[in-house]
Amino acid sequence: MWDLLEYAVEKALKLGAGFVEARGEKQVTNIIRFSNEVLKSIESTSLIGIGITVVVGKSRGHGFTGVLTEESVEEAVRKAIDSARGLSEVAGLSAEPIEYKPKEYSGFIPSRNKDPEHIELEEKIELLRRGVDEIKGSEGLASITAIYAELYGERFFLNSEGLRRHWRPMRNGVYFQAVVRKNGEIGFGRELFASSYGLEIYEKKTPEEIAKKAYTSAVESAEAKTIKPGKYPLVADPTFIGVLAHESFGHLTEGDYVATKASILHGRIGEKLGSEYATIIESGDPVNYGFYIPYDDEGVATEKVVLLDKGILKAYLHSRNTAKLMNMQPTGNARAISFMYPAIVRMRNTYFGPGDMTKEELFELVKRGVYTEGSTGGQTEDTGNFTFGANRAYWIENGEIAYPLKGVVVRAHILDFLKNIIGASKEVIVMSSPLGGCGKGGQGPLPVGDGGPYMAIKEALIGGGV
């Protein structure tokens, strides 16, 4: 692999590129699926290839190939250079990288005692089956879907400054979905877990427990009540709040959106945007169950970036290019989903920082309102308005969970939401997801992590519940 990367860099420089990055990638993805009690499928994908990004004049082009020969690599180099030249006329902002003095990654590295790369599929099938066995035959259960997914491999990086990196991305996780029919009602529940730990993590996070949660959620969903749309106090769990940190705040801090003034956070460093409980951090460090990323796809060691510190905007996320455009430091946020794509500014693990309360104290604080657990996904406008579905939701009465709610969607403007945070727990959970990730610029799903503490919000607009 290194020979071809060296060949690519040399070739591109000869053909007139001012700066070159060559990335090599080997990645295996395995997905095991149970439908009800039947092992339905095992899908295995193996990806190998080389991607070359060049800077020619002001613009940047990317070429790629899955054929590992000098001839194909040369063709990919030519495509990169041609496409950069084709757009040099309209590229208003320079594509050049800022100077980077290499550092080493110094964050947390999850254990990989039982590395999925070296564990037979049978053991992973058994792991998933344990979850299925736990809930099969349960009352009213109409359907179970269970998924184990993993990715592992190697990333190789070389640029025309001679910077060389090699690291091994890895993620694995499980997902359970249950459908229940009860008294003519349909209930739908799901639960997941994923991390960059080896398979030893399932001794602590057992598939039985995760499957059971999916089933009980489905039962609750069949009994769930409707909520009248309107403003309510809210308690959000780490997985719900994490999606907000990522989707509705993190994207607004991405250097490409900021440098082009597309983000509403442009020019607002130092401004107070949230309450004292609103701290948002972005790191390649997975914290606990996030996705481990020591280096980004420009070879920059990932930094821990405090974006929002007790409500005050402190930083943006950068690639070497956006850092140059804004005269800031690169943060190690240039990522590509595969060799087929150029690295663009992306998140890694995005999470709210801890507070000083317990989960119970937050419920007490809110007394009456809505509690959301997990997210079914959502969307954010670049104005800062967002809509997110809750995976599970409950009505809180007298500071305790009273009954499940159906179809709860939370809507707000992120800056209003941040100002309305009135409390956070000490405990912080950051988590990846087995199959999902972030989508941007046609590159998705890119593995990321998100999370935070349990948080209390003075009021938020709750919709849905049809």
Partner 1 sequence: MEDKVSNLISIGEKVVRRKDEIGVDDIEVYLYEADTFNSRVITNYVTVRSGIDAGAGIRVAIGKKVAFVSVSSLDINRIIETAKLAAKIAKTKEEDPNFTHLPDPMRGYAGHGIFDEGLASLGSEELSGYVSRFVKDTKQISNLRKMDLFLTRANYTYAVVNSRGISIGDYGSVIFVWYEVDLEENGKRGKGMDIYVARKLNEDELFSIMPRAVEMAEEGLKAKKPKEPFRGDAIIDPWIMSSIYWPLAYNVSALNVQEGRSRFIGMIDKQVANPNLTVLDDGTLPEGLATNKSDDEGIPMQKKILIDRGVLKTYLYDTYTAYRENKQSTGNARRRDYKSQPSPSTTNLVFKSTTGKKLEDLIREIDRGVLLRGEAMGSHLINPLKGSMAITCLNALYIEGGEIKHPLHAISMSADYFEFLKNIDTVGSDYKITSAGKIPTIIARNVYFS
Closest CB 216 distance from partner 1, rounded Å: 17
Closest CB 367 distance from partner 1, rounded Å: 26
Q: Is residue 435 part of the contact set for partner 1 (CB under 8 A)?
A: no
- Out of 313, 344, 362, 448, the only residue in the binding site for partner 1 (CB under 8 A) is 344
* 37/360 with CB nearer partner 1: 37
Per-residue burial over 129-147, b = 16 or more CB atoms within 10 Å of its CB, e = otherwise = bbbbebbeebebbeebbbb
Q: Per the omega criterion (within 30 degrees of 0), is the bond before 229 cis? A: no
How far is it, in rounded angstroms, from Cα 299 to Cα 158?
A: 8
* 259/455 with CB nearer partner 1: 259
End-to-end CA distance of the chain: 55
Q: Is residue 248 part of the contact set for partner 1 (CB under 8 A)?
A: no
| φ, ψ at 394 (rounded to 5°) | -140, 155
Q: Are 349 and 450 in contact (CB under 8 A)?
A: yes
Q: Are 143 and 178 in contact (CB under 8 A)?
A: yes
- Out of 1, 7, 18, 35, the only residue in the binding site for partner 1 (CB under 8 A) is 35
For partner 1, the binding residues in 392-411 under the rule CB under 8 A are 406-407, 409, 411
* 294/437 with CB nearer partner 1: 437
Closest CB 400 distance from partner 1, rounded Å: 25
Query: According to the 3-state scheme, what is the secondary structure of 185-243?
Result: EEEEEEEEEEECCCHHHHHCCCHHHHHHHHHHHHHHHHHCECCCCEEEEEEECHHHHHH
Q: Is residue 45 part of the contact set for partner 1 (CB under 8 A)?
A: yes
- Out of 3, 70, 186, 444, the only residue in the binding site for partner 1 (CB under 8 A) is 186
Closest CB 304 distance from partner 1, rounded Å: 26
How is residue 249 annotated by DSSP?
Answer: I
Q: Is residue 378 part of the contact set for partner 1 (CB under 8 A)?
A: yes
Q: Is residue 257 part of the contact set for partner 1 (CB under 8 A)?
A: yes
Closest CB 204 distance from partner 1, rounded Å: 26
Instruction: Please report where in the chains the tokens 């100077």 appear, as a residue.
Output: 99
Q: Is residue 229 part of the contact set for partner 1 (CB under 8 A)?
A: yes
Opening angle at CA 314, ends 309 and 320, nearest 5: 135
User: Tokens in use for 372?
Assistant: 């959301």
Closest CB 318 distance from partner 1, rounded Å: 13
User: Tokens in use for 17?
Assistant: 């590129």
- Out of 95, 201, 227, 460, the only residue in the binding site for partner 1 (CB under 8 A) is 95
